[in-house]
Structure 1
């Protein structure tokens, strides 16, 4: 259980680190006015907003439909043409390209305008505008082809505190006077409500908790790049009971943990206007008795598990691997020598091994008087019996004068 919690928390920290690292320098494109549609002849300014942590000289580049068009922080369209419709992105010298933002330049009589980015909790305003220079009368609004605001003089539709269910297709119909008559013209637009911030998650530090340790729980979430300055509040719960009220602090500390602190914990994140509130998934904290720690490295992240489970399995696996490698080496040595010296029972005849006695290079030559014949005889003493026999079998040698014994 502890290992599962550790792996889950480690993966969560990695994901949060990657997400935050990617969003720290990711620019966003904003429109002024904040409209996804304009008429031909109207003006609009685009700005490339980058995170304030980026320091030094920053260069900017603008792209329309993946084609480079500009090299400053802002890009302006003074008198829009239909050809200005497209997907716009910006990039800085310290970042990747931003997400694309769509602009539509319309030359009809009526257009339904919406903000370029809509987030949960926003007050959505849809504007049913007619072409400048013409007069218009009443307007009607639809949502998924159902009337939500009947004929009236208002050319704006207000929807407060939108959520994900507000994502749909909207349409307006307006009476426009031209050629001395009133004509009905319509336009529609799709609104996609985006998440203001991600579902919160809880991480713990340290990963292995023993009685008496200081435990810190951190509630993580990620704001949209377009809403980085939104104020969020955090609260913590133990088994569903509130243990820390909403505040700007996204951490909760237990200075001196006890076994009774082994509980289920959740955190909650809300906006300062209380419109959006999200609850994290449950995180189970396990406080261990003193002495239950099985593996701890003070210089790195702690790795823990229940006694007798994963560490024992790891030790057995390592020992088995070493034993297998040892047996493989022994087998290779055995095969090597069996090829050089065939074992009994093989088809190949065993190699003959000859054993030679050490050669005694010392030979004693001496003479002796034969009392029977009265003659001197020469004898040679060799290390092998065969040499002595040969010498004894030789005929006696007569010597007329005394000889000295010669030794080599």
Structure 2
């Protein structure tokens, strides 16, 4: 279980207020379409300081002009695409402005994100009695006593092509079309665990990673962490991190996180990650069967090595002195055994090791003394002596797994 959990509050939030080397242009007033003769002020944003000079590029009908302007603002009155650059930054994304000569225009903001309050404004040079707003060619509503249409708490479903119409005294007029593209406020969060497979009794830190666009750097997100269906810690928090001081085997499970806005109107869930608490192997125990340090030639002895604790899979290795006898990888937490037919050259100390990748452990040594054959009546023929030039050259090892 997780009886204690510590939340780390980091400010500013990593990933939310990350700086960018690409500046962003903002508009005042905030419309991309205005009437001819009006002016729009562009600001080159994205710096912790006000640059001494800003390079502005203006492109229109295959013509491009470049100007270095003191400060970070530029007042313009011509249609076209505008980009800015300051210091060692890269060029900003282009912003397209339209200074229109039409009698009716629909004004819209430069960018729209989930949760925004979006204002679409119909403006006419002539007196208009009634405006109607359209989306993708279908009428949405008529505007009485106002020229503003509001999209409250914008969602992806609000993406589309908008325009408006108006009625003057003698005819109907129609505006330009504006493409509204509602963008995700932040991408699906990613849960990262450090370490990804913690050791029993050791700490683990979870991090819920996502990123706000620079235009929305002032938006505050909150986060919540889960194991299976259970919320961890105190629930929703401003912290991207959750620190768990000690992990135990029962804390293994499916972990995931959620990121959301303050009012939780926008929530996104990460993919789940399976986290298994790893248990290092305990010191294995080597036993002889039948028990006893004294054995006779020709008898069969079984060596059994088993670690009582440890996450599978466990690699067991057997040694006679410093000579390896063999190894076996167990698919579960069971021990492993093998049998051998003894000769006097099998006398000596035996030990085994166990390793599941978290550090090997070595058993205590077990001594085995092999003596000559026991006395037999003369009527029985003597047993043949094995001929060995190496004590284990003719050794036949038979492994078996014994469940706990």
Q: Same fold by TM-score, threshold 0.5 exceeded?
A: yes
Q: Size of the alignment, in residue pairs?
A: 268
Aligned partner of 1:297 in structure 2 is none
SS in 1 for 2:177: strand
TM-score calculated relative to the size of structure 2: 0.61
Matched, 1:30 2:26: yes
- Matched residues in 1 for 2:75 and 2:314: separation? 66
Q: Alpha-carbon deviation of 1:208?
A: 4.0
Greater relative contact order, per chain length (Cα 8 Å cut-off, separation 6+):
2
Matched, 1:149 2:151: no
- Matched residues in 2 for 1:243 and 1:22: separation? 27
Q: Alpha-carbon deviation of 1:185?
A: 3.2
Residues 307 and 76 of structure 1, relative CA distance in 2, 3 Å threshold: farther
- Matched residues in 2 for 1:151 and 1:208: separation? 59
Kindly indicate whether the alpha-carbon contact (under 8 Å) linking 1:197 and 1:223 is maintained by their aligned counterparts in 2: yes
Q: Alpha-carbon deviation of 1:57?
A: 5.8
Residues 70 and 105 of structure 1, relative CA distance in 2, 3 Å threshold: farther
Aligned partner of 1:74 in structure 2 is 73
Kindly indicate whether the alpha-carbon contact (under 8 Å) linking 1:232 and 1:269 is maintained by their aligned counterparts in 2: yes
- 1:380-404, Cα deviation, whole Å (9 max, x unpaired): xxxxxxxxxxxxxxxxxxxxxxxxx
Aligned partner of 1:122 in structure 2 is 116
Kindly indicate whether the alpha-carbon contact (under 8 Å) linking 2:22 and 2:89 is maintained by their aligned counterparts in 1: yes
- 1:218-243, Cα deviation, whole Å (9 max, x unpaired): 00101011111111111111102211
Q: 1:111 aligns with which of 97, 105, 110?
A: 105
**Structure with the larger helix share:** 1
Larger radius of gyration: 1
- 1:228-285, Cα deviation, whole Å (9 max, x unpaired): 1111111111102211311111111110111122111111111123221111111221
Aligned partner of 2:44 in structure 1 is 48
Kindly indicate whether the alpha-carbon contact (under 8 Å) linking 1:175 and 1:185 is maintained by their aligned counterparts in 2: no
Residues 56 and 189 of structure 1, relative CA distance in 2, 3 Å threshold: closer
- 1:59-103, Cα deviation, whole Å (9 max, x unpaired): 4211223642343410112xx2xxx22222111213211222221
Q: 1:99 aligns with which of 93, 97, 100?
A: 93
Residues 238 and 160 of structure 1, relative CA distance in 2, 3 Å threshold: same
Aligned partner of 1:140 in structure 2 is 132
**Structure with the larger strand share:** 2
Q: Alpha-carbon deviation of 1:135?
A: 1.9
Q: 1:286 aligns with which of 266, 276, 279?
A: 276
Q: 1:202 aligns with which of 176, 186, 191?
A: 191
Residues 58 and 20 of structure 1, relative CA distance in 2, 3 Å threshold: farther
Kindly indicate whether the alpha-carbon contact (under 8 Å) linking 1:27 and 1:50 is maintained by their aligned counterparts in 2: yes
Kindly indicate whether the alpha-carbon contact (under 8 Å) linking 1:38 and 1:104 is maintained by their aligned counterparts in 2: yes
Matched, 1:88 2:82: yes
Matched, 1:258 2:248: yes
- Matched residues in 1 for 2:141 and 2:30: separation? 23
Residues 306 and 163 of structure 1, relative CA distance in 2, 3 Å threshold: farther
Q: Alpha-carbon deviation of 1:48?
A: 0.6
Matched, 1:239 2:228: yes
Residues 42 and 237 of structure 1, relative CA distance in 2, 3 Å threshold: same
Q: Alpha-carbon deviation of 1:306?
A: 6.6
- Matched residues in 2 for 1:30 and 1:126: separation? 17
Q: 2:262 aligns with which of 272, 287, 301?
A: 272
**For structure 2, which runs of at least 5 residues remain unmatched after alignment?**
1-13, 283-311, 316-328, 330-404
After TM superposition, list the pairs within 5 Å mapping 1:345-364 onto structure 2: none
Q: Alpha-carbon deviation of 1:121?
A: 0.5
After TM superposition, list the pairs within 5 Å mapping 1:55-66 onto structure 2: 59-65=53-59
Q: Alpha-carbon deviation of 1:212?
A: 1.4
Aligned partner of 2:214 in structure 1 is 225
Kindly indicate whether the alpha-carbon contact (under 8 Å) linking 1:29 and 1:101 is maintained by their aligned counterparts in 2: yes
SS in 2 for 1:270: strand
- Matched residues in 2 for 1:182 and 1:70: separation? 47
